Each structure stands twice: as structure tokens, then as C-alpha cells.
Amino acid sequence: MSQMVKLYNQLLNRVEGTAVRCWEDICNVLDEVSNTELVPPCHSEDEFDKLIKKGIAFVTYEYGIDGVSIEVSKYAKSLESIYNKEGFDLPIHFIGGDFKPKADIVLKPRWARHTIQHMNGWSKWHHGQWFSKLYYEDMPEGSALSDTISKEIWAQTLDFIRQLGDYQVANDISCIIPVNIPTNPGNFAIMLALCFVTEALGTYVISSNHDYYWEGGKHQNDREPNEEPGVRDHFFRNHDNKPFYDLFKRIYPWNGRRWIQVNINTPQSEKLVSKFDFDQSRVFELGTSISDKFFTEFDQENVKGVRNRMSYIFSDGEHTLKTTSVDDFHSDLDNWICNQKPIFIGHEGDTIVDLTQDHMIYCLQPTRVVGRKRIEKDLQLIQALMDYVPFRREFDNDDSYQLVLHITGPVPIEHKDDLKRVIKAYRKLCSYIPSEVSSRIFLAFSVGNEYHPSFEKMNFKRLCIEELYRLATVILFPSETEGRGLPIIESSAGGIPIICSRYFPERVFDEVIGEDLPDDERIHYTLFPEEGFTLEFLKQACDLMIHQSKYNNMKQHNKCAVRLRYSSEMVRVKFETFFETLMQLELCT
């Protein structure tokens, strides 16, 4: 019997024999497991290396075409570049609650996939009922309700321990990279299971942290007078239930014995060290990397080719792209959000649209439809431009001018109200301007699609993420909060101008654009106003959309700045540092 199997059986015997009556009982058994003697440490670099080469597993709520999944794919490729030598192929596993069809775009067929039932997060964790009970409903300390919920969470934790542990032991996985599970509390039970399994088995853990629950969230007592509520305030709902909240604070984030923390920005790291007493030598930052394909030069014919392929995606393979009226879309919204397909919306239906025509102003927001992305502000900007005389004059004098706002990502079902807000803003825009103008302004959702079966017949290649940016005349990114702000980096690498907000935390925004760096490393951008649209801003926005040649120097500057700062080599070197740190922890034990 292997050492891992022995330890796993000991864990199962311990936790399955525990009768949980309240949150304190869970805390007590977690104390016992996390204080048991660890697997004997490695005594050499070669010994450590052999353990890591047995396999590495990424663990997150779900995989799709979202920013986290794309970044995880980059990490996996970097790991292969470290270990795949002399015919050896590193076993890489992806463990999650769900694999969306779009995950095939970013996850390679050679990587193993394993689904753990019910471990998805937020409203997808048992249809959201336990997320709601923990974070949206009152759970008084000492109440029968509090005890009942703790028993249910424990039952789920046991199930997750078995599912996660069985797979880890069967595949002899010695290193796990959880992504966001230890920092964004979408599923309390899977996080508890992760703590138990990794501590009991002595697993090496690189915790990849993109979002923390405190980013955009506070307890009401910590809020300044007149300070607006945050988008993550709900995580503090049961702050006064001390036994529950003590456990919550302990596991989010988990300071495990063989864990290191890898954040995507400096303020996150500083908070772990200053507020949560993490050892600074075990806290790191990891930036993103940009594919060389982003920097490829392209001309207008290439842009038309990309837009032509996207047209076939929107039209469901038809040669002619026609609009769906916004009224029809709104009336069928519940059905559409459950069966999301690309759609091209107009004020009226059956309008024929040619995305490749020369005067198509293509505004792209490369995000999902989530409230904090503030997509409705894009439509407010378009409405303001319609009041700006130089822009409106161009639009009125040449009826070949058309404008589309294209949102690339899907709509998480829990964000249906955010989609309704976008639709409301589009309808408001259309009612504000004459019908002959509104009939030339469109709203499109491609919900993560980069391919259509018609591509094979037309001899088209699948679109790639670099080409999605080439669709755009301008990128719009008025986001309220970001862990990093990848669209700024990606659009700049492609030489596409961006209008973006100075999102929270502002220090993260400053890091992304290189506020404190020499000018040749600093990204140039246009600031999306928080208040009204000034004439100076509208002039700049108008020029970006209609007189693009004025910004050719800026485009080339940004490409050079991003190339200097974001390379795939940087990510590889960082992972080598992470493994060296884990190894040194062992050798010093």
C-alpha cells in the first residue's frame, strides 16, 4: 500500500467518524487533520522533482472561455515547457464542477478532465440554495437554523473529500493548483474538502488567486458614511455568527503547510501579509503572458476576413446576416439565456447588415455580461456621441455609417438582470434618436463562439482570441472592478485603441498600464469618464471611431510597451520559482 493511499484511508476514517452538530465541530476536526504529522519531506531536488512529475492538477469551479480558464491554459503550457523534456509528457489534470462546450477552445485534448458533481459555485452550487443561505439570508449564531446548515455543509464536504481524494490518489497527483476556490467563496463545501485533502495527503499547493471576497466587499460597519454598497458585500451577511465566520475567515484564504499563494496583483499580496499574517516568502505575484500572435501586423483586408467569419457565426451559417428585433429578443429572453446562441439585435428585425463594409464602426467589449463590467455605459457613450455634432454630422451625412456594440462573452444565468439592464439601455438609445439613425445601430452577443459548422464548407479557419480583437474599431471596457484587466493588455498588444475606466483597485489599474514605469513601457489609453461626457472626451472618442489614422503612433507604442512587459517566458520563470520555493520549504523541514 502506497503512502498516499494509507494517508487517504486515515483521513476517511477520521472524517467519516465525526458527528457534526455545529460549526465548532467542523473547526475542531479541521484542527486535528491540519495538525497531524506530514508525509516525510523530500531530501533532495531529484526526489522533489520526481514527485511533481507524477502529475499536476488544476482545480476550479468550471472551465469555459472566461478569463480564468484562458489564464489557466497559459499556466498549463508553461508547466509543459518546464517538464516536457526528452520524451517525457507531464500529466496535467483539470478538475472542475463543469466543463462548458467552449472549454474545448482553451483546453487541449491531451489534458485530462475530471468532473466533480455539484462543486460548481454561486447559483450553480446546488441551484444556489446553500450560497443563498450562507451569504444572502440571516443565520443567527446558536440558532437551530445555523446548526442545520452546518450539518448539510459537512455532508457535502464529505462527498467532495471522497470525489477529490479518490481522483488524486488514483492518479498519484502530488501537486494541486486551485484557482479562485480558496479566495472567492462560491462553494464553501468544496473549499473545506480541499483543505482536508491537501493537508492530510501532504499535497504541494500553488494557490492561484484571481479574486478575493474582500475586493468590492465590506461589512456594513466598515463602510464610510455615504459609501456605496460593494458588489461582494453579501459575503459579510453572517459576520455576526461568530462560529461560522471564524471558520470562514480561517479557510478564506487557507494558509496550508505546503501551500504558497500566487496573486495577480501587488495589493492582494500586501493584504495577505499585513492583515492575514502570511509569510512573505510564500506569497508571490504572477502576471499574464501574451501570445506572439497578438503582435502580428494585419491590414484592412484581414479585418474584413475576420468580420466575415463572425458574420457567419451571428447568422447561424447563412450568407446574409439579418437582425433580430430588440422587442423579439426581450420577449424571448428567458428561453435565450438558457440556450445561449449568438444573436445580432437591431431596433427592428430583418435588417440586412454587412459587417465588412468600410463604414462599420465596430465597438467591442471582450467580457462576459456581468454587472461589474458596466456594459450599459457603452450605450450611454454611444447616445452621447449621437448628441455630439461632429460625430452626428458624419453619421447623418453618410448613411453607409453603421455602428455595432459586440459583447463577446456568455451571460452567466445568475446575471440575467445585468443582461436586462443592457437591453434597457439599448432600447433607451434607440428611442432617443430618430428611427433612420437607430436602424443603423446594433447590439450583438457572440456568447463565446469562435466557430460555426458552416466554416468547414466555406473553408474558414476557427477564429482565435487574437482575431476577435481585430474585429474592433475600438475596445470599450468601463469595468468597475478587476483583478487584472486583461482586455487592456490584449487590445494594446494587437494595436487596438481602448476606452477604459480607472477601475478598482486603482493600484491594479496603475500596474496594468505601467503608471510608474518609463513611457516606453506604459500603455496609452482613453479614460472612460465616471461622470458626464465632456466635449474633450467626445472629440477623442469620435476620432478613435471615425478618424483612426490619428492614433497610428499610439497603436505602435502600445504594441511595443506590451511586448516589453508580458512574455510567455516570464510565466515559465515564475513557475520555476514557485517549485523552487516549495522544494526549499521541504529541504528546510
**Contact criterion met (CB below 8 Å) for 465 and 496:** no
Q: 306, 340, 345, 296: which is closest to 323 by C-alpha?
A: 345
What cell numbers appear for 2 in the block?
A: 502506497
**Contact criterion met (CB below 8 Å) for 533 and 381:** yes
**Contact criterion met (CB below 8 Å) for 53 and 79:** no
**Contact criterion met (CB below 8 Å) for 500 and 528:** yes
**Contact criterion met (CB below 8 Å) for 493 and 563:** yes
Distance set, CA 151 to CA 122, 147, 284 (Å): 19, 6, 36
User: DSSP for 289-330?
Assistant: ---GGGG----HHHHHHHHHHHHHHHTTT-SSEEPEEHHHHH
Dist. CA 58–CA 75, nearest whole Å: 10
pLDDT of res. 65: 82
Between helix 376-387 and helix 389-397 the angle, nearest 10°, is: 80
How many beta carbons lie within 10 A of that of residue 393, not counting itself?
10
Which residue reads 509528457 in cell numbers?
89
φ/ψ of 58, rounded to 5, equals -90, 140
Distance set, CA 540 to CA 406, 469, 494, 548 (Å): 21, 20, 20, 10
What cell numbers appear for 361 in the block?
A: 464602426
Strands 321-322 and 352-353: antiparallel
pLDDT of res. 413: 87
pLDDT of res. 34: 92
Q: What does each of the 589 residues of the chain score in pLDDT, given as a tens digit?
A: 688 999 999 999 999 988 999 999 999 999 999 988 777 666 688 888 899 999 999 999 999 988 889 899 999 999 999 999 877 899 999 999 999 988 998 899 999 999 999 999 999 999 999 999 999 999 999 999 999 999 999 999 999 999 999 999 999 999 999 999 999 999 999 999 999 999 999 999 999 999 899 998 999 888 888 888 888 999 999 999 999 999 999 999 999 999 999 998 889 999 999 999 999 999 999 988 888 889 899 999 999 999 999 999 999 999 999 999 999 999 999 999 999 999 999 999 999 999 999 999 999 999 999 999 999 999 999 999 999 999 999 999 999 999 999 999 999 888 999 999 999 999 999 999 999 999 999 999 999 999 999 999 999 999 998 999 999 999 999 999 998 899 999 999 999 999 999 998 898 899 999 999 999 999 999 999 998 999 999 999 999 999 988 889 999 999 999 988 887 888 888 999 999 999 887 655 4
Strands 175-178 and 204-209: parallel
SS3 205: strand
How many beta carbons lie within 10 A of that of residue 394, not counting itself?
17
How many beta carbons lie within 10 A of that of residue 35, not counting itself?
10
Write down all domains in the chain, each with its CATH number in brackets: 3-289+570-587 (3.40.50.2000), 292-566 (3.40.50.2000)
pLDDT of res. 1: 60
φ/ψ of 63, rounded to 5, equals -120, 140
